[in-house]
Amino acid sequence: MVFGDGDGSTFLSFTRAIDVVAHEMTHGVTEYINNLKYERQSGALNEHFSDVIGSAIKQHVNGQNANNADWLIGDKIVGPEWDGIALRSMKEPGTAFADDPQPDHMRDYRELPVTREGDYGGVHIYSGIPNKAFHLVSMEIGTDNAAVIWYNAWNDREHLHPNSQFKDAFEAILKAAQTLSSQGRMPQNTVEAVKRAFSEVGIYSLVGV
């Protein structure tokens, strides 16, 4: 893996941020597990899982939790000329920098061209929608618990495969939440917290559960 040094003005060294390092390493895991295609919703999920793991590791290393974490991605690598505070905000998508295009709800989802200029269909843009759902679940049951659910869902190859959409990810995450809750490994409100979070960002179940 290669991490840039930055130019000292817009970006600083990319190894300054544990969330960025974990994020990039997680892409390798995603490629191995379900190889989410890097375009549109499947690509946004690819970015989303990297943000989830990156944020969870950052909180663990810093001794933080869902309530006192800043929920920013890449805040340690942006330089003095960056017009903002980070690359992304999982808590408040669209607020990390000036003209941040990330939405936090499906009502603002639009098809973008699958080109570099179009962010390959919005992989870094629309990851903000499931990112917000992860933040909401974490606020109810804790980041560590939410990360365990997402990790288990990540391995659900029935629902998460190269062409998966946001609804497929919701199915996998809901299934993982139900399984872990039935085993007594999650708080009692976990399943409802997952349903509520995804509903709040406009992602609904395929099977109406």
CB 138 within 8 A of CB 52: no
HSE-up (13 A, CA, CB side) for residue 199: 8
92 included as an active-site residue: no
Type of residue found at 62: N
Type of residue found at 85: I
Q: Could you say which of 24, 27, 140, 161 is catalytic?
A: 24
User: Which residues have a Cβ under 8 Å from the Cβ of 197 and sit 6 or more positions away?
Assistant: 132, 133, 134, 136, 137, 140
Burial category of 24 from C-beta neighbours within 10 Å (exposed 0-12, middle 13-18, buried 19 and up): middle
d(CA 174, CA 198): 10
31 included as an active-site residue: no
| Token pair recorded at residue 113 | 């061209």
Q: Could you say which of 23, 124, 135, 159 is catalytic?
A: 124
Active-site amino acid positions: 24, 124
